[in-house]
Structure 1
Amino acid sequence: MFLKKVALVSALAVMAGSSSFACEISARVSIVGNEFPAIQTVGAGAQECSGAEVTTNLTKDHQSLNVPGMQGNPAEYTSAIVANSSIVALMNEDVIRPLDDLVAKHGQDLQSSQLIKVGGKVMAVAFMANAQHLMYRSDVLDQIGVEPPKTYEDMLAAAKMIRDQGIMENPIGGAYAAGWNLAQEFNNMFLGFGGSHFKAGSAEPNINSEAGVNALGMMKSLSEYMSPDFLTHDSNATNAEYRAGNIALLNMWGSRAASQTTAEGVTEAVKNGHAIAGPMTVGGGSTPASTLWWDGWTVAKNVSDAEAEATFVALTNAIRPAKMEDEAVRTQAVWLVDGYTPTDAAVGVFEAAKMATTPYPMLPYMGLMHSALGNELSDFMQGKESAEQALADVEAAYIAAAKEKGFLQ
């Protein structure tokens, strides 16, 4: 599986090969997914096919749409673009189909590292790798005379200097929006402190621990250098703050790296000072406080075989090797596509892989834990309860959900 990190790095070093590809389909294709640039490119590539309608719904709200949109019969969406977190919910609800037959028939341009197998069956086709890592203003760090932070402790020290010298009042940015984003930042920090979400070999929660308390403590310290409304800032809002020149240090998705200097509204100072580094560690540990991800696409179970085949053909067309000849496309992501050669924007994700960053847990009950974290941590971040109480609340919410789903007795 892609999650073998060394294979990820080597898979990205292949020389380009091109092919001429005429994409003809005979049944509808309907895709739901996230909205960042690489996924927009995949959606547009699928829409290059002719013969039937190809529609896309690419939105930050995709995770609330994909399961209900695939549960009907026929399903509203013939494909959901997912990651190693969100595919689990689709498998739990039995709304996606194995792709082995379609890979055999139409997958000649796919690499083995792209085939996401669960229980021996191909359940998704990965097209890119992702991780959160440091982005920073090199000019601002030069101004205070410090190197790019390698640890979160370094980040806090740099932020204090930036504030104390009157350069920026709130120099740190983070996707700390209450809900999914805040939970993900906890996951990163918790793993960096050596935490394990579950007791070994079980679905029993294991976050109300020293690692959990330390993770929340560091997050609270970082938030004191963020905008006062940090609990409303998702990736889009955080990046907008960065591009406007309001923050100098952030932990951000590699999939957003290339657009930091090209998006509308970016200042000249940001264009000239923008820089990328690998993920940071925390608490004296050597494991990055981040997670390694893949993004890929699935095919719905509750659609006709003709629609399933059309969907596979259209999405395979969208990630064909010839796409990697376009420099603008190559810079959008760390592509797992034959013909991809790394760009400067890929540095952070490559560093994450080299540093043995922990893959996001692909466990059937991890989604329940992520939801519980997202629902229960904001009170702590607002100073309304202790770290221990917040983590106890998370475990209680998770246990109730896990019992309802049959993961715990």
Structure 2
Amino acid sequence: MRNGGTSNAAIATTLSGPSKKSYRSLVTIVITASCAFLLCRQTKTLELYTTDALLDANIGIGRFTTDPSSTDSSSTSSLSLVGAQHRLEGEDEADYIIRKSYLHSYAHILPCDNSTIEKNCLLKTQQYFNPTTEQERSSLPSVPWWFQTLLRDIVRNGAYGFWHHFGTTDPAIHFCSIEKVGTTEWRKVFCDLNAEDCPNNEGSYPPQCVSRLVGRRCAFMTKKPLPNDAPHAVFLRDPLERLLSAFLDKCVKPSVRRNERHCEPNEVFNPDAKGDPKALPLTTNIEENGKQLFAAYLDTMPLKWNVHFVPQALMCDLYRTIDSKYAFVGDMGKEFMMDLERMATQFGGRLATQLDKSFGYVEGVKAKKFNNTGKQNSHATHAPEKVAKYYTAATVRKGLEYLSIDYVTLGLKVPEWARQMLRDETV
């Protein structure tokens, strides 16, 4: 990975003429304004990336995934630290970016015992990186600024909300629901499975059936007790595709930005949400250029992490539990229809009927369809078909950096189109 290969300047050099000049000016304005609103008030330091020298020092003192209160030197990252600052033999750029980014950032998440779950575990790391004394601060490992802001935001942006945990009793199953991994359709599946929990009494629902999510009066979590051995299931999605899908859903249409306010920081992308109808987004001059707008978003996104863009591995404790707890892991990719059929077969009960109702997988398998959308298709962004329109080699690098934990801990593969995009730039 080039040090700073995804920087604002690098993106600007891909432009030409007036467009190049305006984009450079825009980036300066965006970063300056956003920092004034957010970062400068909430973080004491801003380090873009760890240098090779600092990485060497961190390796030497065993910082990676080691509990500072523990004397057990065996608690180290499973990812090779050898040559972390250099490409390994036969390692392509995508894998190198992931490995180096992970070791600089997510590998510093402190271990927790099995009784410490989700939010409390990440709080431990957040507190570690926000010590109260100067002596403690001076001994901290250097980590990317975006990792610091992720630790700051994830404990309060909804990543640990109850709505990520679905459950039903016929068949008995726990399901981890992740934003931009078919959540709208999965909610329908579990609401139908739990219909008896919340009967519609002439349009009036009992209090326990109001999900507190606007317009979604259904029980995607059963009120009946689940067996202690009820299995866990989850569907995952390629991180780069999911990142683009979230952007297409939350950031492309100004009306959606204004109404939902999920394209954060709003100070950059939706200033009129504060009540000034004349306020224009700082990205006004590049709204019609998909690649520039996406690049501007990835430059500023970590100033305030929105739940739709948080790595999948941090949802439902997946980075710690996917191997030990999950009986079923599906892929929301080209094999989506086949994986739905596999899930229906594995768990049985009424699941097959409801899966087919929402996703139409029976016909999908017969017709060998490769789509990963719901049957109604009303909320789909069709991100797989749009990667060439929005991604560049620079934004691929940035996406791989931010989401490296998904590839490392969830065992996901970098799509060939992304690898090829990086290769083509170097030819």
Same fold (TM over 0.5): no
Larger radius of gyration: 2
Task: Identify, as 1 or 2, the structure richer in strand.
Answer: 1
Q: TM-score range by the shorter chain?
A: under 0.3
Give the TM-score normalised by the residue count of structure 2. 0.25
Larger RCO: Structure 1 or Structure 2 (Cα < 8 Å, ≥ 6 residues apart)? 1
